Structure 1
Amino acid sequence: MDSEGSSSGVGKRVAEVRKLGGWTQAKLARLANVSTSLVRAVEQGRAPASPAFISACARALGVGVPDLLEQPYHRTSKADHEVHAVIPPIRRELAAYQMEPLDDVQLRPLDDIARDVARASKLRHAVNLVELGAELPGLLEELRAAVHTLTADRRERAFGLLAEAYAAAGQVVYKLGYIDLASLTVDRYEWAAARSGDELAVLAGDYQRAGELIGAADWSSALRFLEKSRSHIESKIGKGDGPVLSIWGSLHLKSGLAAARADKRDLADLHLAEAKETADRIGVDRDDYRLCFGPTNVNIWSVGLAVEMMDGTEAVKRSETFTVPVTAQKERAGHHWIDLARGYLIHGDKNKAFAALRKAKSVAPTQTRYHPMVHETLRVLAREEARTTESVRGFAAWCGITSV
């Protein structure tokens, strides 16, 4: 890491940890189940580190994913300090989740609280982390008071709202690089959802839990877990209920990710096909349990899954079959352009890779600034594209990367 505090990149961190353990590149490759040539390319900065590579290496080396990503990134601007200032109050609320608020909280009608929770979810989808982070602690505290005060059905509804608020908090901390804190929000979500009386909310928690397993490179466990989760509603999907279908399709998408990370392409494609069939059956984009399931999200995932399988050409091909509508949530649209930038890079079109990053920045700037895959893509572009070095370096500096 340089004197400005910017990340040194995953490749350098992998090399440092590997050498501290006295390992050769070949040994790391064997234990992480990747090729030695890939380890060499990532360490030398010639190839970006994929999420699968990072989690597999972290597991093999006995370190956490945040250790290799050096997250959360150091703050290099006033804007950084402003957005990260939301973390301490969210952390305090997560710690106090079972405690009745000490101060008297003026409890509003649940309908009013529900409107604010829905607004928080919209801010999450818009990746407005500063405003969302400022509102969440008070909202979480009020919901804590509600679940301690209300009874029967009203209490279950309050738990459902609390679960949704925890999901929003999880996205704030995750996008800012507090991965362990994001894991804690999954625990809190599951705790609240289990008390909501809503089976689908519980399964939405399974979707999040599977993400934790995938991030820890336990892809086989994630696949088994998701299959079991789907079994709870398999008998209901024939009825055509929108929320049930949304959960069913979302769980298949998550299985597709686990399969892609495990390098099981045929299985990933099967889960993607199942999700697409489900989305076509629904016919519209829905936001049940804030999972954004529908034709648009399945298209976005189709590109992302090809990138996860390191097939840039297929990712580009899939991206050309659809257009992300202007009505799509910025969170999802921004993620699409970040994925597509990686796809173009793997495909060998560095100019379009950088153009996709610029598009991601225009759609969801905060998400783009802190996304580790953006940092990895930029480092490879800066290394290999001498003629565009100044523009790439300017983008990297905006991301807080001062040494590429």
Structure 2
Amino acid sequence: MGNSTGLAPGAHLAVLRKERGLTQRQLARLANISVSLLSKIEVGDRALTPAVAADVGRAMGLSMAEVLGRTAVTRSGEERLAALRSAVRDYDLPGRRPVPGDALGAALATAGRLRDNVDVDRLLVMLPALLRDATTHAHTVNSAEGWMLLSEVYSTVYWLAARHRWMDMAELAVTRQRWAVEQKTNPLGRAIAARDRAGAYLNGGDFEGGLTVVDRAIGQAQADLSGQERAFAVGLLNLRGMTLAGRLKDKREGRKEAERHIRSAQEAAAWFDRDWNRHSMIFGPRNTVTHVLATRLDLGRPREALRMAEDLDAALEDLPPTRVGPSYVNLARARLDVGDREGALTALADACEAAPQLARIHPMAREVFRVLSSLHRRSNPALLRLSKLSGIPM
């Protein structure tokens, strides 16, 4: 992959700026941020947040994902990634041998477990063949269920690509996902596809555009679905909406939009006693709490996020590592924001323990670790242990 980097986001930003011949003062002026903030981010005294990454990205003609840096893969990973790209290209070229639906369902369930556990290495191994089989099955049976299975595979391709900031593949995956669910009427599949499409806007740093996609999809889901299925679809979309709103540059508008989506998500969550996991999507009361915590943090309110985190362990109960890991990363970021370095280190260690591979590819996990390493200024046994556990270099 081009532009892959082993650097944490803040260090990567410094490289991008220098490659473009910009001084810190020039970039800060273009991005409408303070020179002091930019300097602290580059030297490792402050974490590069997604919102600031979007600001400096626009100033340099880059997406937020490009500023955060694509995750590099091994040589064998490159070969598997090429195989996955080939399978995505062949979206309308089914194989000649039939694929039994029960075998495909079992393989998709395995992929779902790998996704939930953030086992990205094994997921990349199995996705090319799974996508080809799902393509063949959907074209063969030509049913709403068959196309939904294919759509779910594309959703997983999007998820894997977005986690690594392979945004060209992520955007192609959401296009294919939408195409699949449109082959046969499937309102829930359409809502999930819109949620993932808005995620591509999120990773690109176009938060306003993503909110437009979300609001339109919410209206459609409310019209086309009913009962818990409608609550599930509307809830998922509102989780995406609050995340987008929390990263708007205008924080007053962001707070207003975020609170609107938070209220709607909480109303939808009231339909559920426990979180549903459907089509590799999770929604319910507990996952709503984790998203609200992250949104408070993105809005620049770390103390509010920390107050919510007092019951975080209870909120994370029964949620898979794909939600547990990022929640502890957000807790680490909140503690770092209020100056609690040891608490941040403990939370980051919890994130690594819950989802070791996530810590290696999650930009904020890498960024918090970089800042903690910089602030400690000397060897720290806890940092060394965390470096070995996560694979993030000191």
The answer for the alignment partner of 2:201 in structure 1 is: 213
Matched, 1:289 2:288: no
Greater shift in the superposed pair: 40-49 or 57-66: 57-66
TM-score scaled by length of structure 2: 0.89
The answer for the alignment partner of 1:73 in structure 2 is: 72
The answer for the alignment partner of 2:46 in structure 1 is: 47
Residues in 2 aligned to 1:57 and 1:269: alpha-carbon distance in whole angstroms:
26
Residues in 1 aligned to 2:242 and 2:51: alpha-carbon distance in whole angstroms:
13
The answer for the alignment partner of 1:78 in structure 2 is: none
Matched, 1:376 2:376: no
Deviation at 1:273, TM superposition (A): 2.2
The answer for the alignment partner of 2:56 in structure 1 is: 57
Matched, 1:113 2:104: yes
Provide structure 1 residue ranges, at least 5 long, that are not aligned to the other structure. 76-80
Q: Which amino acid letter does the alignment assign opposite residue 135 of structure 1?
A: M
TM-score scaled by length of structure 1: 0.87
Q: Secondary structure at the match of 2:94?
A: coil
Deviation at 1:209, TM superposition (A): 1.1
Change (3 A) 1:6 1:19: closer
Residues in 2 aligned to 1:319 and 1:369: alpha-carbon distance in whole angstroms:
23
Matched, 1:234 2:225: no
Describe the superposition over 1:128-149 as per-residue Cα deviations: whole angstroms up to 9, x where unpaired: 2333333322222122222332
Residues in 2 aligned to 1:325 and 1:10: alpha-carbon distance in whole angstroms:
27
Matched, 1:222 2:214: no
Residues in 1 aligned to 2:164 and 2:238: alpha-carbon distance in whole angstroms:
27
Residues in 1 aligned to 2:379 and 2:224: alpha-carbon distance in whole angstroms:
54
Residues in 2 aligned to 1:377 and 1:113: alpha-carbon distance in whole angstroms:
39
Residues in 1 aligned to 2:298 and 2:219: alpha-carbon distance in whole angstroms:
26
Describe the superposition over 1:32-87 as per-residue Cα deviations: whole angstroms up to 9, x where unpaired: 34333322221221111111221221122013445433322365xxxxx6666542
Is the 1:90–1:137 Cα contact (8 Å) retained in structure 2?
Answer: yes
The answer for the alignment partner of 2:8 in structure 1 is: 9
Residues in 1 aligned to 2:332 and 2:307: alpha-carbon distance in whole angstroms:
13
The answer for the alignment partner of 1:365 in structure 2 is: 356
Percentage of pairs with the same residue: 26
Greater shift in the superposed pair: 319-328 or 374-383: 319-328
Is the 1:310–1:346 Cα contact (8 Å) retained in structure 2?
Answer: no
Q: Which amino acid letter does the alignment assign opposite residue 53 of structure 1?
A: V
Q: Secondary structure at the match of 1:232?
A: helix
Q: Which amino acid letter does the alignment assign opposite residue 46 of structure 2?
A: A
Change (3 A) 1:122 1:134: same
Q: Which amino acid letter does the alignment assign opposite residue 272 of structure 1?
A: I
Deviation at 1:257, TM superposition (A): 1.2
Greater shift in the superposed pair: 132-141 or 335-344: 132-141
Q: Which amino acid letter does the alignment assign opposite residue 339 of structure 1?
A: N
Of 224, 233, 236 in structure 2, the residue corresponding to residue 247 of structure 1 is 233
Deviation at 1:89, TM superposition (A): 2.1
Change (3 A) 1:225 1:314: same
Residues in 2 aligned to 1:332 and 1:246: alpha-carbon distance in whole angstroms:
17
The answer for the alignment partner of 1:309 in structure 2 is: 299
Change (3 A) 1:17 1:325: closer
The answer for the alignment partner of 1:191 in structure 2 is: 179
Of 247, 268, 286 in structure 1, the residue corresponding to residue 258 of structure 2 is 268
The answer for the alignment partner of 2:93 in structure 1 is: 99
Deviation at 1:30, TM superposition (A): 4.0
Is the 2:98–2:140 Cα contact (8 Å) retained in structure 1?
Answer: no
Q: Secondary structure at the match of 1:107?
A: coil
Is the 1:158–1:196 Cα contact (8 Å) retained in structure 2?
Answer: no
Deviation at 1:184, TM superposition (A): 2.0
Deviation at 1:161, TM superposition (A): 0.4
Residues in 1 aligned to 2:358 and 2:192: alpha-carbon distance in whole angstroms:
22
Is the 1:105–1:142 Cα contact (8 Å) retained in structure 2?
Answer: no
Deviation at 1:16, TM superposition (A): 3.7
The answer for the alignment partner of 1:168 in structure 2 is: 156
Greater shift in the superposed pair: 32-41 or 242-251: 32-41
Matched, 1:181 2:175: no
Q: Secondary structure at the match of 1:287?
A: strand
Counterparts of residues 81-160 of structure 1 (less than 5 Å): 86-101=80-95, 104-108=96-100, 110-151=101-142, 154=143, 156-160=144-148
Change (3 A) 1:44 1:132: closer
- How many residues get paired? 386
Change (3 A) 1:130 1:17: closer
Residues in 1 aligned to 2:343 and 2:387: alpha-carbon distance in whole angstroms:
16
Is the 1:177–1:370 Cα contact (8 Å) retained in structure 2?
Answer: no
